[in-house]
Structure 1
Amino acid sequence: MQIVADYRAPLPHIPDTSTNTETAPGRSPASGHKEYRVKPAPRKVLVPDLVGKTVESAKRILRLKQLALGSIFYRESLEQAGMVMAQNPLPKKGLRVAAGSPVTLVVSRSMLAVVPDVVGRTVSDARPVLQKAGFLTGSVVPDSFVSSGKVRRQHPVAGDSARRGSAVDLTVTDASPEPKAPEANQELVTYLAAA
């Protein structure tokens, strides 16, 4: 059967249906010979409220409601990562959409990250570790009491949560060799030791 025209009209006596009106091949519409095929209209389902749910939970709910997962967009937030912050279409009271319709989600991406431990590393070794975790190297303050050239303290400390892109300040021990006593002082020390 070749479809000459596709016209959908609801049939009032059969709920949730429509008809395709087709002219039979070789016959003119004026002859009054038409074939009707009844198709169920797309099933309508309620749009669920997914805000506040995890992405995995939202995916399960969409499958159960026979809806498709649309695009996922991420927005930085101080909230827990992986939570649905917004959706489209919105779950308005009584809103029904065709089964299989996509639902777009906006999901939180944490602005916070765990500060890595860089104590005991050189500044040149600490920088890439901080960058990989999403942090900048802040001020580098020398500590002249100890001589090793390594990070002695950091702020914020390792394990704390801090905003991505913020700076981690480092206190670094001085790697220069201990200063030698001038020769005149050395002679005085030798003289005092002999006395």
Structure 2
Amino acid sequence: MVAPAGSPAAGSTQERPAARRGRRRVVPVLVVALATLLVAAGAAAVQLLPTGSDARLPTAEATGKSTDGGSRDREEPGSTGSTGSTGSTGQPDDPSATAGGDAGSSPAPGDMESYRPGPPAKRAIVPKVVGEPIGRAEDRLRAAGFSHFQRDYRLDQAAVDVVIATDPASGTSANTETIFTLTVSSGRGHTTVSDFIGRTERDVRTGLASSGLKMNLVVNNGPSSQGAGLVERTDPPAGTQVPFDTTVTVTIASTQVNVPDVVGRSRSDARATLTGYGFDVVEQNQASDRPVGTVLSQSPASGLVTRGATVSLVLAAPPSGGSTDGSGGATGSSNPSSSAAPSTRR
């Protein structure tokens, strides 16, 4: 086939410049598309970065430079200075930056609405209530402005339910919300008198002291049912409930006693008297015209002797030729020449 005149033949060199121009138009389009993708990817990456103040890029306000390249000569209103970085609103990026600031700084503007200072503490002078009953004492303290009380009871010489101490002390200035401690007497307390009959003085002193009691000693120089130096009785008697510090009177038998005079008294009366004083009695008969059994003499006759000593008695016996009839009288004897021989007995 013959090509038309004036048209280039297929595969000739005239087609090459046109192909080159087509490719040159495609390259700029590809470059623009690639640049657009890169810009989009960069924007997405920026949004994924941390938003904290430490991750932000410096701004004109953070660097102190104005947008026209100059420096700011003064701080703008709302700036926090060196206490922390601020955003475009003038508020600190990190609330904790100002929370940890100076202790004397004022509350943050947002906290002022809820901040209400409490009323000042009230104080009052503590009235003197020591020595008064607990009820009256608390009434006086309430009248002075105090309202919180606690009681502490203790044994004391004061009467029951009487205030013996206060904390705070009277006359001092104290906060009216203070918890007031009132020390109150519960009395001297009570204890029981023990049985000390037949015990020694030393035992009684020790026992009474351990029971919180006092002792008043009385020595009995007269008749006693107890041995020398032993307790005869107590007043109050054993088993009695008494307050602490009560004085108990203790009577003990003396170790020495005066010998009573029993001469002229009957045998039975003399023995009862002497044994009542704690003496042992020895009897001896002697013929006499006095009634049989009458005490003719005694030894020792008088004086101070140890309790428990022996006293000898000489008793009247029937005269010669007589005998006792059991009542102290004498009867005749069938042997006039006979005489009564002395005898000794206890």
Computing the radius of gyration from Cα coordinates, the structure with the larger value is 2
- RCO higher in structure (CA 8 A, sep ≥6): 1
Q: TM-score, normalised by structure 2?
A: 0.32
Higher helix share: 2
TM-score, structure 1 length as denominator?
Answer: 0.48
